[in-house]
Structure 1
């Protein structure tokens, strides 16, 4: 285990990773959009360590934006197909679709910015909503820009994280803070979705 925490070992692994070429840096973040259980943060940190902060960030950002947008387009085209109709029957998904359609750009952008937001759910809801394709691409690019750069900036100097306890503590604190704020925002959105949905359906019943 100590060998894997050795800074020279990290340099060696980063060199091997970089030697695989930029396509390999793009591919894992792209695939993660289809398989959200994969650890996106690991791919982003690996890219930033191997390729440097800026180049690694660009590779990760392009990969995850492309993957998420392809998922969005697939859901947009086939999401209401009878074989995938079960997606729209989920109560929470229904409420989120209506909420996104009523509130649009701002809240969706903030959701995408946070690293711990379930991106698969965001792509699903956006794909099933009536949001324009161009608008979602803009939101996706902007939100992922913030999220991926945050991950890249935190993880690019992995050697320092292993050798400087104070820096490590600060990074851990930032990650915990992002997680807490993300969870708070997610709960707040869920609450507002419930309230707006109740008001909307009451209005429909009164008509």
Structure 2
């Protein structure tokens, strides 16, 4: 009996520690940056500010950009798309795409394994059953690969917790990782291309791509519930 009580106490302590660590990462870091490094955030409020900052720190610009991409995925405090515009301007399309994939890949891997390490209960408690429980269930279905790809591909669908959901689902990292990256690439490429065209003063194709991107984003926002319902129908048919 005493052993059972001890095991329960240890389990409770471990759960509290796991939850505290996850809260520190997902909530603590953004709060710390917001209150103590507002000057840092203020440098990333516009395309001009970001471009100037990257050019000012030319020797470290690649590391800064990749680091911001990682942070954006883990804690979602910095606007990733504006940063990608700037990367297309500063690095050019192909270099920017490589750095974006590296940053997105590292951010995805870190958030996936944070969830995997801390476990189901900690992630569900902090992020909420309503927000992540249903998603985990979908990622445990036979259509998980299609669902992940659509979630990352379609603009306007919230994807900030997908990596965490995948980490506590049955989905293996070696399958989740490439699908999530492939789904991200079209939006990345569009943002980087706009930045690159702006740098080279190719304004007409830039405007065309920007208009198409805005239309797709707006459609994603307007029809995100219908798209989610389609995913639900997919899921219910194969469940």
In the superposition, the TM-score normalised over structure 1's length comes to 0.75
- C-alpha distance in 1, partners of 2:66/2:97? 10
Q: 1:44, CA displacement in angstroms?
A: 1.2
**What residue is the counterpart of 1:29 in the other structure?**
69
1:93 aligned to 2:132?
yes
Q: 1:54, CA displacement in angstroms?
A: 0.7
- C-alpha distance in 1, partners of 2:79/2:61? 20
In structure 1, runs of 5+ residues without a counterpart are none
- C-alpha distance in 2, partners of 1:21/1:168? 24
1:158 aligned to 2:177?
no
* Pairing 1:13-162 to 2, within 5 Å after superposition: 15-81=55-121, 83-87=122-126, 90-102=129-141, 103-159=143-199
Partner of residue 229 from structure 2, selected from 171, 191, 204 = 191
Over 3 Å counting, the alpha-carbon distance change for 1:88 and 1:27 in structure 2 is: closer
Q: 1:38, CA displacement in angstroms?
A: 1.3
1:180 aligned to 2:189?
no
Q: 1:30, CA displacement in angstroms?
A: 0.9
Give me the CA root mean square deviation: 3.3
The answer to which of 47-56 and 142-151 deviates more is: 142-151
CA contact (8 A) 1:78 1:84 kept: yes
In structure 2, runs of 5+ residues without a counterpart are 1-45
Over 3 Å counting, the alpha-carbon distance change for 1:194 and 1:58 in structure 2 is: closer
In the superposition, the TM-score normalised over structure 2's length comes to 0.66
CA contact (8 A) 1:108 1:139 kept: yes
Count residues in correspondence: 192
The answer to which of 84-93 and 105-114 deviates more is: 84-93
1:141-189: CA deviation from partner (whole Å, max 9, x where unpaired) = 212223311221122222467x84x445424421222213423563234
The secondary structure found in structure 1 opposite 2:170 is coil
Over 3 Å counting, the alpha-carbon distance change for 1:13 and 1:23 in structure 2 is: closer
- C-alpha distance in 1, partners of 2:235/2:154? 24
